[in-house]
Structure formats: C-alpha cells, structure tokens
Amino acid sequence: MTADDFRVKYETELALRQSVEADINGLRQVLDQLTLCRSDLEAQLESLREELCCLKKNHEEEMSCLRKQSTGDVSVEVNACPGPDLRKILEEMRCQYETLIERNRKEVEDWYECKIEEVNREVITSGQEVETCNNQVTELRRQLQALEIDLQAQLSQRDNLESSLAETECRYNNHLAELQNQITCVEQQLADLRAEMECQNQEYKILLDVKCRLEQEIHTYRTVKSCSSSSSQGGIGQSSGLGGGVARTSGIGGGGIIRTSHTYTSSSQMPSCAAAEIQGKNCNTRQDFHSAPSTSSNGDLSHGRGMETRGTGWQARHRDHGERADMKSGTKERIGESKCPEIRKKSRNHGDTGRKLLALVQGEISRQIEKERQKYGDSWSMRSVSRALCWQGP
C-alpha cells in the first residue's frame, strides 16, 4: 500500500516536472525570440545611426557647396518676393527627425528593459521552481532507492522462507514416509504375531483335548483295572473309553499278553506329537505286543494277528493324518526359523502366558501318567502316549 502511494506521488511529481520542463523550454524559445528581436532593433538602430550620419554628411557637403557658390561677388537685384528660408526649414526637419529618433530609441530601450526584466523574473522563478523540482526529484530518488532496497530485502526474505518451507515439507514428508514404513512393519509384525498366537491357540486346544481324552482314558483304565482286580485271574475283561477313541484290553490267565488298540476318528482328535511319534515308531503298541512272550493259544495268536492287521490298517488309514500332524508339529519351528530375531523375541514375550498354561497342562498330564505308571507298572500300554506328551514349547 505504501509502495503504491509512493508510486502515485512519484508519477505526479514526474508529470509536474515534465510540465515545468516544457514551460522552461517555452520560455527559452520566447527568450530566443526576444533576443532575435533585440538584435533586429539594434541593427535597425545602427542603420538609423548610419543613415543619420549619412544625412549629416550630405547636409554638410551641400552646405559647403552652397558656401563655395556664395563666395562670388555677384550682385543681382531682382524685384521679386522673398523665397523661403531653407536653413530654417532644414533645421526644423533635423529637429523633428532627431526628436523622432530619440523618442523611438527611448521607446525601444524601455520596451527592451521591460522585456529583459520580465524574462529575468521568469528565469529566476523558473530556476527556483527547477531547483525545487530537482530537490523533490532527488528526495523521490532517495525514497525510491530505499524502497527498492526494502523490496529486495523482502524478496530475499520471501525466498528464504520459501526455501525453508520446502526443506521443512521435504523433511516432514521423509519423516512421514519413515513413520508409514514403521507402521507397515509393525502391522506386518502384528499380523505375524496374530498368526503365531493363533497357531499357539490351536496347539493349546489340541493339548487341552489330549488332556481331556487322557483323563477319560485314565478313568477308563482305572475302571478296567478295578474290574479286572475284582474278577478272577483267568477271566477275560473288555471295556471301551470314549472321548474321541476306543480302547480294548484283553487279559489271559497268567498275564501272558496284554493287547491295547486306539482308534481316533479324526486327525484333530490326535495329538500332533503323538501322531508323529506313533507313525515314526510304526505303531509302537504292535511292537510291545510282539515283544511279549508267545505263550497264548492258536486263538490268541489269531487274535494277535487280527490286532496286528487292525494296527496295520490303522497305520494305512492314518498315515496322511500322521503326515499332517508332522507338518503341524514342525510348523512352529519353521515359523521361528523364518522370522527375524526381533519378531521371535516379541512372539516369545507375547506367548509367555500360553507357554505357562501349556507347561502347567503338560506337567499335570505328566504327573497323572507317572502316577498311573507307578501304580500299574512299566507294562502299561500307554507308554507311546506318554512319549507323545513330551512336547517342547516354542
């Protein structure tokens, strides 16, 4: 706003200066015309003076000629009227011309002096105005320079602010990109942790299912044992336990052979480590059967072969389930190997509660199995299940 005001003032003063310069140029032209007129008048005055000198000279020559002519002694008497007095007439004419010349000279001198005074006054006034205008122009130039300096300072400050703004935007954009990358990484880690927690949850459910089924089987074996102890030594007992499996036990007088078979209806009911252990050992229960003394009859042998056949069929039917169980049992190790140390550390921190609970369940099951083994002896047929329960945490 101030710059616009100064610009308007500058334009006004510039127009005033131009008008004053135009007036000065006009006065200079008038002065030139007056100078020319004065020169003409001086030339006319000089010519009039020369003419006056010529007239005086001619008059003197005529007077001398007339005096020479009048030197003779000639007396002529003429009876005539007297003529005009030429001398007197000439004197009068000379006086008239001199008076006219003097009057014209005075008039010209007065007019010249008057014009000179007017021109001088105008020149003085114009000089003062020009000086005032020059001072104003100088002041305006000084103000213009100050405004230009201020403008340059403002422009440089604006450039600095723009560069600072650009640097700030670039820095914050980089920081935002870094934060976005960190958020993406954290989200990926969170997804991995959720997947790992889901896997641990599935394993926990499997172990909980194993615990429940083992408790049911332990209860069943206790019932079978109590029934076996109450029956005669040569009797034959058969019991079945539910909870996802069927257990059949046959005893012959003398305790020669004990046969036990387990049937699982689905791979989800089978503990992962148990399935892997059973398939890896090629149905350890059958080996226990063959390791016992062969003191039974032909019917017992045929019954044993039937059990072996069922075990072989069970192996054929559940081989795929065993492979799936192997894949499940190795999932956590593969996940742990594929994750970076930081993710494994976080997963270990987040999985402390699950591992503690799994450790408690494992300890409880191990204690119950150990109690049963101490109670019923080493010939107990759940030896493969106890090996399967030796599960390692993540």
45 plus 113 within the same structural domain: yes
CA distance 125 to 330: 113
Whether residue 200 contacts residue 347, with contact meaning beta carbons closer than 8 Å, is answered with no
Whether residue 271 contacts residue 207, with contact meaning beta carbons closer than 8 Å, is answered with yes
CA distance 355 to 350: 10
100 plus 195 within the same structural domain: no
Instruction: Tell me the residue range of the domain where 307 lies.
Output: 186-214+268-287+301-388
Over range 175-200, report the average pLDDT: 92
Whether residue 358 contacts residue 393, with contact meaning beta carbons closer than 8 Å, is answered with yes
Residue with structure tokens 């019932």?
223
CA distance 47 to 248: 170
Kind and range of the H or E run holding 245: strand 245-251
Q: pLDDT tens digits for 130-155?
A: 888 888 888 999 999 999 999 999 99
**Is 80 among the domain residues?**
no
Residue with structure tokens 């999932």?
331
20 plus 123 within the same structural domain: yes
195 plus 108 within the same structural domain: no
313 plus 382 within the same structural domain: yes
150 plus 272 within the same structural domain: no
| Count of structural domains within the chain | 2
Residue with structure tokens 């002096």?
113
The domain boundary, picked from 104, 134, 154, lies at: 154
120 plus 49 within the same structural domain: yes
**Closest C-alpha among 218, 286, 232, 229 to residue 257:** 286
The domain boundary, picked from 111, 136, 154, lies at: 154
Q: pLDDT tens digits for 60-86?
A: 888 888 887 765 555 555 565 666 677
CA distance 50 to 56: 10
DSSP 269: G
Q: pLDDT tens digits for 323-371?
A: 444 444 444 444 444 444 554 455 455 556 666 666 776 777 777 777 7
Share above pLDDT 70 across residues of the chain, in percent, rounded to a whole number = 58
146 plus 207 within the same structural domain: no
**Is 65 among the domain residues?**
no
336 plus 278 within the same structural domain: yes
307 plus 357 within the same structural domain: yes
End-to-end CA distance of the chain: 76
**Is 324 among the domain residues?**
yes
User: Residue 126 corresponds to which tokens in the numbers above?
Assistant: 């114009």
Using DSSP, state whether 260 is helix, strand or coil: strand
**Is 323 among the domain residues?**
yes
Whether residue 362 contacts residue 391, with contact meaning beta carbons closer than 8 Å, is answered with yes
Bridge partners (DSSP) of residue 245 are 264
Q: How confident is the model at residue 195 (pLDDT cuts 50, 70, 90)?
A: very high
196 plus 47 within the same structural domain: no
Q: pLDDT tens digits for 263-296?
A: 343 333 444 334 333 333 333 333 343 333 333 3
132 plus 272 within the same structural domain: no
CA-based torsion, 31, 36, 37, 43: positive or negative: positive
CA distance 373 to 382: 9
The domain boundary, picked from 135, 154, 173, lies at: 154
Q: pLDDT value at position 70?
A: 65
**Is 380 among the domain residues?**
yes
CA distance 190 to 299: 61
Residue with structure tokens 């980089």?
174
